[in-house]
A and B are shown apart, each in its own frame.
Chain A
Amino acid sequence: MLVYITVLLVCQLAGEVTAHLLGLPVPGPVIGMVLLFVALVIKGGVPPAMEQVCRSFLTNLSLLFVPAAVGVSVHFALLAREWLPITAAVLISTLATIAITGLVMVGLTKGHDK
């Protein structure tokens, strides 16, 4: 259990270092995800204990966004002043992106495979 928590942190650290050294615009944890992915491909499977550790992280993924999301409150004054363009842009743009991405993906994969 502890081994795999360590593995996750080592991947994140390696990702962080890689991003800084190479000046990549991608955050460390995302590179860490790629590193772990490559490691799993090389190993050819996910050890059951690792599976368990990752599952416990991911089942509560939503919780981890709460502290950052509470930060919206810092900008209440600005958000209140320009609420109309902000609400419209966030709402319409997010829905449009979901609809268009989903429809394009369905259109391109239809009939190919199931």
Chain B
Amino acid sequence: MPADGALGRAWVYLATSPLLWLTATLVAYQAATWLWGRCRMNPLLNPVLVAVILLVGLLRLTGTDYRTYFDGAQFVHFLLGPATVALAVPLYRQIQAVRRSALAIGIALLVGSFTAAASAMAIAWLLGASHDIVLSLAPKSVTTPIAMGIAEAIGGIPSLTVAMVMLTGITGAVCGPALLGLLKIKDPRAQGLALGVAAHGIGTARALQESEQAGAFASLAMGLNGFATAVALPLTLRWLLGI
């Protein structure tokens, strides 16, 4: 960006204010949502994916670093906290359904948690990934704040883990519903659990678009998976690797 002339001065001003990147985030997301609607909700045009591509392109184009971007966009990021709390409402409305299938939920959850961590580590290790990558991939299906804590506990790189968590969430949201359709899994409880365990909050957001019941089961799965992985993964790795 040239720093001379009126446009340059305006740019210098805007680059230091949260307004620009906050607005850019909302505009990119709305453009992505519009495109998604226009293309009959084609899963490859998932709004999170498209918005991220648009914004990364814009950051590259303007030579803006992620720090500067996040200073503006953090207002949106902050709302994740109260939004997570708000997931209690759909969960409360499904309390009967959860109670009825509590045992099945518990078993499916543990199987899913184990698959998520073990298969990611095994595949990366077999394909020759470095130690850092293998450890940073382990908590990839866990919601971001828990995943960062786990990465720290097992010797991975927390910021790299965030990248893995995001890639996983987007993958789950893009491919998950189609895969569930392919497997003829129509029960919203199973759909929600699967998306929540594998793809945390982004999967939960996707499940909420399917139905409230799927969303409630996804948020339950996200919370329990985070808890189970946080407790079990560091202990298991310490036992296996002696670290």
A1 interface contact, C-beta 8 A: no
Of the candidates A28, A46, A79, A101, the one whose C-beta lies within 8 Å of that of B109 is A101
B116 interface contact, C-beta 8 A: yes
Instruction: Give chain B residues whose Cβ lies under 8 Å from the Cβ of A66.
Output: 25, 28-29, 48, 51-52, 55, 73, 76
Asked whether, in the complex, the Cβ of A68 is within 8 Å of the Cβ of B77, the reply is yes
Asked whether, in the complex, the Cβ of B115 is within 8 Å of the Cβ of A101, the reply is yes
Instruction: Tell me if A's interface is mostly helix, strand, loop or mixed.
Output: helix
| Segment among B7-15, B37-45, B126-134 that sits at the interface with chain A | B126-134
Known: A29-B85, A97-B112. A58 touches B90 (CB 8 A): yes
Instruction: Give chain B residues whose Cβ lies under 8 Å from the Cβ of A33.
Output: 84-88, 91, 219, 223
Which residue of chain B is the closest to A43 with respect to CB atoms? B92
Asked whether, in the complex, the Cβ of A71 is within 8 Å of the Cβ of B159, the reply is yes
Asked whether, in the complex, the Cβ of A67 is within 8 Å of the Cβ of B25, the reply is yes
Asked whether, in the complex, the Cβ of B81 is within 8 Å of the Cβ of A105, the reply is no
Instruction: Give chain B residues whose Cβ lies under 8 Å from the Cβ of A70.
Output: 52, 55-56, 59, 66, 69-70, 73
Instruction: Give chain A residues whose Cβ lies under 8 Å from the Cβ of B190.
Output: 101-103, 105-106, 109
Q: Which residues of chain B in 169-201 are interfacial with respect to chain A, using CB atoms and an 8 Å cutoff?
A: 169-173, 175-176, 179-180, 183, 185, 187, 189-191, 193-195, 197-199, 201
Asked whether, in the complex, the Cβ of B82 is within 8 Å of the Cβ of A8, the reply is yes
Smallest distance from the beta carbon of B225 to chain A beta carbons, Å?
9
A78 interface contact, C-beta 8 A: yes
Smallest distance from the beta carbon of A63 to chain B beta carbons, Å?
5
Known: A91-B171, A113-B100. A65 touches B88 (CB 8 A): no
Report B's interface with A, CB cutoff 8 A: 25-26, 28-29, 47-48, 51-52, 55-56, 59-60, 66, 69-70, 73-74, 76-77, 79-93, 95, 100-101, 103-105, 107-109, 111-112, 115-116, 119-121, 123-124, 127-130, 133, 137, 140-141, 143-146, 149-150, 159-160, 162-164, 166-173, 175-176, 179-180, 183, 185, 187, 189-191, 193-195, 197-199, 201-202, 204-206, 208, 215, 219, 221, 223, 226-227, 230-231
